[in-house]
């Protein structure tokens, strides 16, 4: 039986069902089921968050100034971006403005996260979908050196001896039987297309990136006071700056600022010499693999971020673009208003929650998080051992957010499509440059590889903007302004009896917002709509499928019980389910279980 969804996908559940659970190399727990026809093409896709989410309910009644510390603990990845979103929501509710220096420093914290997260995602979570480390053992180090010099002539780490050393280290590691991060791969699958030399080059950079990422992180440590859980504060940033001398204990001095500056330079160099050339090199071998576009050519959404000047969150002041595109109409980028009750709404007919009465979509300020675990009538298995989900009923712990009723894709690709459609000069130049280098048309963007490419370009962009805000901070400090926090409305006695606010950021994996209601100085309601809620959303009452589901449709799977292609596309979103749902099912299995029936 086939069904056409309102957002333009033809679902057919007649073929065999493949279950991937859990999906590995992501944060949090996720399950995916697809139907595959006799040509091994995916004809139906079901994505399920398999953990319960309970953050909102535990924040009730707490001091709004402490919320950032809680949201920072939701997950091990986007700690800072949740904290930033939270303090922005509280500042919006209580009408608190922040000093320019605080804005520059917050932007640098956020940009640091973008650079760091994108780099780690590409090399440590996603590369193994394209790169085969076992095949790297067959590489000729001399030929690898030649390849390296051709793709990145300015990279000094390119001698045959260097690659031979890495290969020996890798061989020793593999021979010891502890494949470590490389286990659970499908290393004989024909979906891997790189020659051994490209595999060795990429694995070498896997190690370099692992070593280098520690330096990027230090920017957050310096401004946030500590690592790995930096401090935040409503009204600004909690670090004092003293450029004149050693100053107060804990103050950021000139020596620290120079250190930050040197890390920024090294980050720009690493992205330009290693990450971008690797993207081009790997991409050139997979140019024909244009699956995974899903919603990206139809509906994309970005809230925007990185305010140039403090306290102005209008689209024109945001350096990371804001806007929504629907039905693939790149000629019209629509304005996004997070306060409008008709724009962002969450639906739960296919999620394990219920709303009071027969309410349909709820704006997050009026959001309700009331867990209701019931399974659809066609579920195969039992409540404690589900063999096959029934997507006609409730099937996920993720709610279904919609923008004006549309399922949307969020993330680096969405931001780049919005920026490209708006004619943003920097983004257009980067995108056209890459398309030219790879000799592919614009439509190639709407794919799994397009998502991966947009992330790399954004990493490069973010590294450049780190330099911009460092310079801006230094100029402001030299002009005598060292203020980093505004404590005017810190005391709850200055607050109105009731207030509500919204804070937003663009997290590495997409649009993130927190909506808060404050009553009698306490949190009355708190709702987070996170990027993976958008991308990983289940169906809604109209039958629209979510971004993960859409992206898996019509993909050819070479070997059905080795879901390399499914992982490729899901990983390209950089899913993070720890906050979109919450820790629930944990059996700790290392191996992804794949069942074909």
Residues in contact with another protein by CB under 8 A are 21, 27-29, 31, 50, 52, 54-55, 57-58, 60-63, 65-66, 68-70, 72-77, 79, 120, 124, 169-170, 173, 178, 180-181, 207, 210-211, 213-214, 217, 228-229, 231, 352, 371, 373, 383-387, 578, 582-590, 593, 595
582 annotated binding-site participant: yes
For residues 350 and 540, the answer to whether their CB atoms sit within 8 Å is: yes
Rank residues 124 and 363 by Cβ distance to another protein and give the closer one. Answer: 124
In the block, residue with structure tokens 């920024």: 264
Omega of the bond leading into 175 within 30 degrees of 0 (cis): no
78 annotated binding-site participant: yes
Instruction: Find the shortest distance in angstroms from Cβ 508 to another protein.
Output: 13
Q: What whole-number distance in Å separates Cα of residue 36 and Cα of residue 46?
A: 12
75 annotated binding-site participant: yes
Rank residues 64 and 419 by Cβ distance to another protein and give the closer one. Answer: 64
29 annotated binding-site participant: no
**Taking phi first (over 0 means left), then psi (-120 to 50 degrees means alpha), and beta for anything else, what does residue 277 get?**
alpha
For residues 526 and 60, the answer to whether their CB atoms sit within 8 Å is: yes
Find, among 214, 549, 310, 313, the residue nearest to 409 by Cα.
Answer: 549
- Strands, DSSP E only, in 242-312? 300-302, 305-307
Instruction: Find the shortest distance in angstroms from Cβ 67 to another protein.
Output: 9
DSSP state for residue 293 in the 8-state scheme:
-
Residue 395: how many CA atoms within 13 Å on its side-chain side?
27
Find, among 118, 215, 105, 210, the residue nearest to 462 by Cα.
Answer: 118
Strands 323-325, 300-302: pairing kind: antiparallel
DSSP state for residue 578 in the 8-state scheme:
T
Rank residues 168 and 188 by Cβ distance to another protein and give the closer one. Answer: 168
Rank residues 28 and 283 by Cβ distance to another protein and give the closer one. Answer: 28
Rank residues 30 and 301 by Cβ distance to another protein and give the closer one. Answer: 30
Rank residues 217 and 260 by Cβ distance to another protein and give the closer one. Answer: 217
Instruction: Find the shortest distance in angstroms from Cβ 97 to another protein.
Output: 22
Q: Name, in order, each residue with C-beta under 8 angstroms of 439's C-beta and a sequence gap of 6 or more.
A: none
Rank residues 120 and 459 by Cβ distance to another protein and give the closer one. Answer: 120
Instruction: Find the shortest distance in angstroms from Cβ 232 to another protein.
Output: 9
Instruction: Find the shortest distance in angstroms from Cβ 561 to another protein.
Output: 14
For residues 513 and 303, the answer to whether their CB atoms sit within 8 Å is: yes
Instruction: Find the shortest distance in angstroms from Cβ 177 to another protein.
Output: 12
In the block, residue with structure tokens 């922005």: 88
Instruction: Find the shortest distance in angstroms from Cβ 234 to another protein.
Output: 11
576 annotated binding-site participant: yes
Find, among 303, 373, 248, the residue nearest to 515 by Cα.
Answer: 303
Instruction: Find the shortest distance in angstroms from Cβ 256 to another protein.
Output: 18
Percent helix, strand, coil in the chain, to 5, is 40, 15, 40
Rank residues 527 and 555 by Cβ distance to another protein and give the closer one. Answer: 527
3-class DSSP state of 184:
coil
205 annotated binding-site participant: no
Binding residues for Mg(2+): 56, 582
Binding residues for Ni(2+): 75, 78, 576
Binding residues for Fe cation: 78, 579
Binding residues: 56, 75, 78, 576, 579, 582
């Amino acid at each position: 039986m086939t069904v056409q969804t309102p957002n333009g996908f033809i679902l057919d559940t007649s073929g065999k069902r493949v279950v991937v659970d859990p999906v590995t190399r992501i944060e949090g727990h996720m399950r995916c089921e697809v139907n595959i026809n006799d040509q091994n093409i995916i004809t139906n896709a079901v994505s399920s968050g398999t953990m319960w989410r309970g953050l909102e309910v535990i924040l009730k009644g707490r001091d709004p100034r402490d919320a950032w510390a809680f949201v920072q603990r939701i997950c091990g990845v986007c700690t800072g971006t949740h904290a930033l979103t939270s303090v922005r929501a509280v500042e919006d509710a209580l009408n608190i403005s922040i000093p320019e220096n605080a804005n520059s420093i917050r932007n640098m914290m956020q940009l640091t996260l973008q650079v760091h997260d994108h780099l780690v995602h590409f090399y440590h979570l996603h590369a193994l979908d394209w790169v085969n480390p076992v095949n790297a053992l067959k590489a000729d180090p001399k030929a690898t050196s030649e390849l390296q010099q051709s793709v990145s002539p300015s990279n000094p780490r390119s001698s045959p001896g260097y690659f031979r050393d890495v290969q020996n280290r890798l061989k020793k590691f593999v021979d010891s039987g502890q494949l470590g991060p490389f286990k659970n791969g499908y290393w004989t699958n024909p979906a891997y297309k790189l020659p051994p030399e490209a595999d060795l080059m990429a694995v070498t950079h896997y190690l370099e990136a692992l070593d280098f990422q520690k330096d990027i992180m230090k920017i957050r440590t310096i401004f946030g006071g500590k690592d790995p859980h930096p401090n935040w504060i409503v009204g600004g940033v909690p670090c004092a700056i003293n450029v004149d001398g050693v100053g107060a204990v804990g103050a950021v001095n000139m020596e620290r600022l120079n250190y930050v500056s040197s890390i920024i330079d090294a980050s720009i160099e690493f992205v330009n010499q290693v990450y971008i050339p690797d993207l081009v090199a790997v991409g050139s071998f997979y140019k024909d693999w244009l699956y995974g576009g899903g919603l990206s050519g139809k509906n994309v959404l970005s809230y925007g971020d990185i305010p140039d000047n403090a306290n102005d969150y209008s689209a024109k002041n945001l350096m990371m673009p804001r806007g929504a595109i629907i039905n693939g109409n790149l000629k019209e980028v629509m304005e996004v208003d997070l306060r409008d009750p008709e724009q962002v709404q969450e639906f739960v007919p296919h999620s394990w929650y219920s709303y009071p009465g027969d309410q349909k979509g709820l704006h997050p300020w009026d959001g309700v998080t009331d867990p209701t675990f019931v399974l659809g009538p066609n579920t195969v298995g039992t409540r404690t051992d589900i063999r096959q989900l029934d997507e006609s009923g409730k099937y996920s712990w993720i709610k279904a957010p919609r923008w004006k009723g549309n399922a949307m894709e969020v993330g680096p690709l969405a931001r780049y499509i919005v920026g490209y459609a708006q004619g943003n000069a920097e983004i257009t130049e980067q995108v056209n440059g890459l398309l030219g280098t790879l000799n592919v048309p614009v439509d190639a963007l709407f794919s799994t590889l397009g998502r991966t490419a947009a992330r790399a370009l954004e990493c490069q962009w973010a590294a450049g903007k780190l330099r911009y805000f460092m310079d801006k901070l230094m100029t402001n400090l030299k002009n005598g302004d060292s203020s980093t926090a505004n404590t005017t409305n810190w005391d709850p006695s200055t607050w109105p009896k009731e207030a509500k606010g919204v804070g937003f950021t663009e997290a590495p994996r997409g649009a993130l917002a927190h909506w808060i209601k404050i009553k009698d100085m306490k949190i009355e309601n708190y709702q987070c709509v996170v990027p993976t809620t958008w991308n990983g959303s289940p169906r809604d009452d109209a039958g629209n499928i979510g971004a993960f589901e859409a992206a898996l449709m019509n993909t050819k799977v070479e070997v059905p019980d080795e879901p390399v292609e499914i992982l490729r596309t899901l990983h390209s979103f950089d899913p993070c389910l720890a906050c979109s749902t919450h820790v629930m099912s944990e059996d700790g299995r290392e191996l992804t279980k794949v069942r074909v029936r």
